[in-house]
A = this chain, B = another copy of it.
Amino acid sequence: MLFAMSFTRQPLILFVAYPGTGLLDLTGPQTAFWAAQRHMDVAGRDLLPYEGQTVSVQGGPVRTEEGVVIETLPMSMFDERSIDTVMVPAAAGIAGMLDGLGPTVDWIRQASRRARRTASVCAGAFLLAEAGLLDGRRAATHWALCDLLAQRFPAVTVDRDAVFVRQAHIWTSASVTAGIDLTLALVEEDCGRAVAMDLARDLAVRMQRPIK
């Protein structure tokens, strides 16, 4: 069954960045959402390309954990816009970074209320958990961090086998590359399986990969 969604305006995807963000966690989904527009010309659809924006608390340059610096806009720029999707990337040492990421977590919690869906990549699940978004829910994270997520957030049921997990409007994914698989699933939800399959072929991503 195909599920096709017609957007009346470009869906706004906000990619959350913070100092030490994992680079591929951000850029895998960014690339997949962007490339989806190349495959939206399926007959009988009225699909608009996604608008992707990279945001941080203050805006300006943000240094990823790999040392690559990316430009961001302040989150507050989008206070009046309706948000389609909030994408939350990981950082390798996220568990030790949460205390310093209060404003980012607060924004995620609030933005999630007005976004159509919120998704995390890899250890980004820790930020969703810290924001309380995973309480009483199943969630995926990197296979090496499952124990830590379960210990730190007992209200979260950690799914150790999933590439990604959907619970209502909250999506979580396992590894960093699973963020691409997750994005393929989001595109499939929006644009149907034909578009998602074309996109997977374009990016040469097997739908879906193993988690480890």
A residues at B contact (CB < 8 Å): 22-24, 26-28, 30-31, 34-35, 38, 52, 54, 61, 65-71, 92, 143-144, 174-178, 180, 201-206, 209-212
Can you name the residue of chain B whose Cβ is closest to the Cβ of A15? B68
Given contacts A24-B28, A24-B30, A176-B204, 7 further A-B contacts (CB under 8 A): A22-B31, A24-B31, A52-B68, A68-B71, A205-B209, A206-B206, A209-B209
- Tell me, rounded to whole Å, the shortest Cβ–Cβ distance linking A51 to chain B: 9
A sample of 13 inter-chain contacts (CB < 8 A) reads: A23-B27, A24-B203, A26-B27, A31-B66, A34-B66, A52-B67, A54-B68, A176-B203, A176-B204, A204-B209, A204-B212, A206-B209, A209-B209
Shortest distance in angstroms between A144's beta carbon and chain B's nearest beta carbon?
A: 8
Closest chain-B Cβ to A118's Cβ sits at a distance in Å of: 20
Q: How far is the CB of A40 from chain B (nearest CB, A)?
A: 15
Q: Which residues of B contact A92 (CB under 8 A)?
A: 35, 38
Report yes or no: A30 in contact with B23, Cβ–Cβ below 8 A: yes
Q: Are A67 and B178 in contact (CB under 8 A)?
A: no
A211 touches B204 (CB 8 A): yes
CB A111 to nearest CB in B, in angstroms, measures: 19
| 8 Å CB contact of A177 from B65, B70, B175, B205 | B205
* A177 B176 Cβ-Cβ under 8 A: no
Contact of B30 with A68 in the complex, beta carbons under 8 Å: yes
